[in-house]
Amino acid sequence: MQNQQHIYLDNNATTRVDERVLETMLSYFTDLYANSTSTHIAGLTINEAVENAAWQTANLINANAEEIIFTSGATEAINLAIRGLANQERKEIVTVATEHKAVLETCRFMETSGFEVTYLPTRPDGILNINLLNEVITHKTLVFIMMLSNNETGVIQNVMEISKILKAKNVLFLCDATQAVGKIPVDVKTMGIDLLTLSAHKFYGPKGVGALYVSAQAKIKLLPQITGGGQQQKLRSGTLNIPAIIGLGKASEIAVNQLKEDEIKIKKLRNKLETGLLQFEGFFINGNIQNRIYNTSNICFPGVNSEQLILALGNISVSNGASCSAVTSEPSHVLKAMGLSDEDALSSIRFSLGRFTTSEEIDIAIERVLSLAEKLKN
């Protein structure tokens, strides 16, 4: 493998840091290292940089800077959003069975704290039945939690129609937009989103930093999950990870200016990959083909064990499920919730392309996957 070109097609797990982001971050490790809460000139200078990063991040989702709470990533943001609602009078949560484990496990925790949680199924294509949502939402429901774009299939939900139902019934909308922010236009105002989570490393920023958008208009009173010095409006105490926050801001700025360029290039490569792989009879795409994000393709290779194929691919990095639970022999809970059999779920692989994927890499991947899949079949 050392002599082979590394082909990375697992960008939904994490992305390479854009060199422009890294360059912007570097001075905050060395020269600009003051604490942003210090009152001396150096500290005030850093605080100004943090405020700018908050503006850059907010601008990416059409929010206001004061509505952004920096976290260690989307998982922490999800926990702050869900656990932070424990002080509300309403005690019902509605979510979807195909959500990320960060949502599902936190909801299960809330069930031990007196909350009732409803886990809605999806249609076989991964799209939520809006009529079903309308039926289960009641005057007792506090919040509805749903991904914008699924991390395994890329399926995009009809957020606009969903938010109309929620607003009519005065229910909060927590949107896990981790796989969407930085890739497609996201507007919390027009989409009617009250709480939104994102993570920098999903769109060419550094690992270890993300954000929670908390709508000021919704006047949400969250309980902090990390207490101490009272930083970030007392919602998330602790010394800020300045270099990472600066990186998130820069990644957001680049994304705003490069959304369309990335989409055109990556979608073309994704389509090329699918055309090449689906020439083999019996292979099929999991999830709705029309309503999905442009960089993701989840393909089932019936009769082929996905773990064996991933290992055999060696220098080509792909995934058979969510990166947070990849070390498992269990079938994907997302694909199972969509109605796939254990066998087909265990024969499915997610290909997720990115800004740095090349056409030559796709050619190599198609050839290698087809050759190995044929050998491994049954």
**Which tens digit of pLDDT belongs to each residue from 284-313?**
999 999 999 999 999 999 999 999 999 999
> At CA 215, angle to CA 212 and CA 220, rounded to 5?
95
pLDDT of residue 188: 98
Any domain includes 206: yes
Query: Are 221 and 308 contained in the same domain?
Result: no
DSSP 237-292: -S---HHHHHHHHHHHHHHHHHHHHHHHHHHHHHHHHHHHHTTSTT-EE-S-SSSB
- Domain closes at, from 206, 234, 254: 254
The pLDDT of residue 195 is 98
Instruction: Give the CATH number for residue 171.
Output: 3.40.640.10
pLDDT in tens, 171-213: 999 999 999 999 999 999 999 999 999 999 999 999 999 999 9
Residue 188 and residue 125 share a domain: yes
Same structural domain, 73 and 192: yes
Closest CA to 146 of 96, 197, 191, 93: 96
- Asked if the structure places residue 186 within a domain, the reply is yes
Residues 259-263, mean pLDDT to the nearest whole number: 98
Length of the chain counted residue by residue = 378
Could you give the CA distance from residue 124 to residue 145 in angstroms, rounded to a whole number?
A: 20
Q: Is residue 279 part of a domain?
A: yes
User: 243 and 263 share a domain?
Assistant: no
For 218-239, the pLDDT digits (tens) are 899 999 999 999 999 999 999 9
Domain tally for the chain?
2
Predicted confidence band of residue 377 (pLDDT cuts 50, 70, 90): confident
- Given a contact cutoff of 8 angstroms between Cβ atoms, the answer to whether 339 and 325 are in contact is no
Q: Residues 163, 168, 170, CA angle at the centre, nearest 5°?
A: 90
Span 61-99, pLDDT tens digits: 999 999 999 999 999 999 999 999 999 999 999 999 999
The answer on pLDDT for 361 being more than 80 is: yes
Do 93 and 38 have their domain in common?
A: yes
152, 149, 225, 161: which is closest to 191 by C-alpha?
Answer: 161
Residue that terminates a domain, selected from 216, 232, 254: 254
Same structural domain for residues 39 and 136?
Answer: yes
Q: Do 232 and 110 share a structural domain? A: yes
Residues 99 and 157 in one domain: yes
Tell me, yes or no, whether 306 lies in a domain.
yes
User: Which pLDDT band, with edges at 50, 70 and 90, does 325 fall under?
Assistant: very low
According to DSSP, residue 155 is labeled B
Instruction: Tell me, yes or no, whether 1 lies in a domain.
Output: no
Q: What is the pLDDT of residue 280?
A: 85
Rounded Cα–Cα distance for residues 94 and 183 (Å): 26
pLDDT tens digit sequence for 114-144: 999 999 999 999 999 999 999 999 999 999 9
| CA nearest neighbour of 291 among 184, 200, 165 | 184
Distance CA 289, CA 311 (A): 27
| Phi, psi at 341, each rounded to 5° | -70, 165
Residues 279 and 238 in one domain: no
Instruction: Note whether residue 197 is domain-resident.
Output: yes
* Domain encompassing residue 187: 19-254
What confidence tier does 321 reach under pLDDT thresholds 50, 70, 90?
A: confident
> Vertex 118, ends 112 and 121: CA angle to 5°?
135
Q: Report the alpha-carbon distance of residue 307 to residue 73 in Å, rounded.
A: 28
List CB contacts of 131: < 8 A, sequence separation 6 or more.
Answer: none
336 and 247 fall within a common domain = no
pLDDT at 1 over 90: no
- pLDDT, tens digit (0-9, with 9 covering 90-100), for 328-347: 578 999 999 999 999 999 99
The residue annotated as part of the active site, out of 107, 175, 300, 324, is: 324
In 119-138, which positions are buried (b, 16+ CB within 10 angstroms) versus exposed (e)?
ebebeebbbbeeeebeeebe
Q: Over the stretch 5-55, which tens digit does the pLDDT of each residue have?
A: 899 999 999 999 999 999 999 999 999 999 999 999 999 999 999 999 999
Residue 4's pLDDT is: 75
**Domain presence at residue 67:** yes
* CATH classification of the domain holding 303: 3.90.1150.10
Q: Is 300 a catalytic residue?
A: no
In the sheet with 68-71, reading across from the earlier edge strand, the strands are 68-71, 210-214, 195-199, 172-176, 141-147, 92-96, 116-120
Q: Mean pLDDT across the stretch 251-278?
A: 98
| Percent of the chain that is helix, strand, coil (3-state, to 5) | 40, 15, 45
Tokens of 297: 């393709």
> Do 202 and 304 fall within a single domain?
no
Of the candidates 119, 124, 111, 48, the one whose C-alpha atom is nearest the C-alpha of residue 83 is 111
Same domain for 128 and 250: yes
Task: Give the sheet arrangement for strand 348-352, strand by strand.
Answer: 284-285, 296-300, 348-352
Residue 2 lies in a domain: no
* 156 within 8 A of 301, measured Cβ to Cβ: no
pLDDT of 324 strictly over 70: no
Q: What is the pLDDT, as a whole number, of residue 3?
A: 58
